[in-house]
Structure 1
Amino acid sequence: MSEPDSMMLEATRRRLSGKQANTVDRLTRAAVQVLAQEGFAGLTIRMVAASAGVGTATAYTYFSSKEHLVAEIFWRRLVSSPSPASQNPDPVVRVVTELRNIALLVADERELSGAVTSALLGRDPDVEHLRDRIGSEIRRRIVHALGPEPDPEVVESLQLLYAGALVRAGMGYASYAEIADRIEKSALLILR
């Protein structure tokens, strides 16, 4: 099993067997459907469990809260999306492409994108764990796109740019597509 595949099977709380991974997959898919219908405010673990055909108690063995469930959905999307960092010799092009790709991961799903912002700001320890993993993955992608021995200040500035821009999008100040454009312009200011 490849490293990304093993990361997909690793839940926030524990390693999963194939059957357990299938249950978590059903729950995350059902959550996206319930979110589209009910919005984040109306989403409950009970509703998701019913939609997935799973007992509520079983759902809670995997997800401590709706914030944890939504953060898991974003984490899974992130690690399953291929890094678009091309073989382009220009690290600026590679970084901008990478940040745009991450910014647009949930852009076409309005309820999910707003829910991701709300969820990732939560204080649930399982969400904090996922937030750290998501931040580490984004940092890893930025560092990879920049190339050997990137300036740590530039890396941190790009991480802050990305996080701040997505919070703005999640708050409704702009669409995720508009935010992706803004990230590109701001990244160019940092990198040039």
Structure 2
Amino acid sequence: MNMEATRRRLTEKQADTVDRLTKAAMDVLAQEGFAGLTVRMVASAAGVGTATAYTYFSSKEHLVAEMFWRRLAATDAPVSESADPTARTLLVLRQIAMLVADEPALAGAVTSALLGTDPDVAHLRLRIGAEIRRRLIDALGDRADGETVETLELLYAGALVRAGMGYASYAQIAEQLEKTALRFLQP
């Protein structure tokens, strides 16, 4: 997976700076929450100048969306020996839904960030969506048609928004997502 930041191609030193910023952002996010997070705070925690941080991230939404993208891109799609496309698809949906479940501060921030209007976030939404779509198509195999994939994408997006709004935990939402997808996918 291509892990370069969304705004530019990176040298090794620049990639290290971006890594430091995304790691520091997790610490600041855990302490301050998304509402209290600022690029300035993250830059300070990473030992980087604020102007340098803004060179890589246009907003806190962009920074959080990048964190989610990196988490998704670094996580291989689940491997299933099952010949059943429904079982493989449910496994993919659960894995993606649980990607940030153990980090409530990041989970809530991701929902807010991905709904933002920042053009750099829009770019990441496209990358994230394309990766999720690819995983669903691979899992569905011969059952992958446009309508099925789009319906599963809508189920997934709606489930994560509900989790981000605090209606249920990510684990509960993942279970509900599986149940709903199973209803849809069963012949």
Q: Please, what TM-score do these two structures have when normalized by structure 1?
A: 0.95
Letter in 2 for 1:32: M
Distance 1:149 1:94 in 2: 11
Give ranges in structure 1 of 5+ residues lacking alignment: none
Letter in 2 for 1:80: A
CA offsets per residue over residues 4-27 of structure 1, 9 Å max, x none? 1xx11x211111111111100000
SS of equivalent residue, structure 1 residue 147: helix
Q: For residues 1-192 of structure 1, what are the structure 2 equivalents within 5 Å?
A: 4=1, 7-8=2-3, 10-148=4-142, 150-192=144-186
Q: Is the 8 A contact 1:85 1:95 kept in 2?
A: no
Provide the rounded CA distance (Å) in 2 between the counterparts of 1:94 and 1:15: 35
Q: C-alpha separation between the residues in 1 aligned to 2:167 and 2:143?
A: 35
User: Percent identical across equivalent pairs?
Assistant: 71
1:26-81: CA deviation from partner (whole Å, max 9, x where unpaired): 00000000000000000000000000010000000000000000000000000000
Q: Find runs of 4+ consecutive structure 1 residues off by over 4 angstroms.
A: none
How many pairs align? 186
The verdict on how the C-alpha distance between 1:12 and 1:84 changes in structure 2, with shifts beyond 3 A counting, is same
Q: Deviations over 1:129-150 (max 9, x none)?
A: 0001101110000000001361
In 1: Cα distance, 2:143 partner to 2:9 partner: 33
Shift of 1:190: 1.1
- Contact in 2 for aligned 1:40/1:115 (Cα 8 Å): yes
- For the 8 Å contact 2:85–2:143, the answer to whether it is kept is no
- Does the CA-based 8 Å contact 1:30-1:52 persist in structure 2? yes
**Counterpart AA for 1:145:** A
- Whether contact under 8 Å (2:162, 2:168) holds in the other structure is yes
Cα distance in structure 1, aligned partners of 2:143 and 2:86 = 15
* Structure 2 unmatched ranges of 5 or more: none
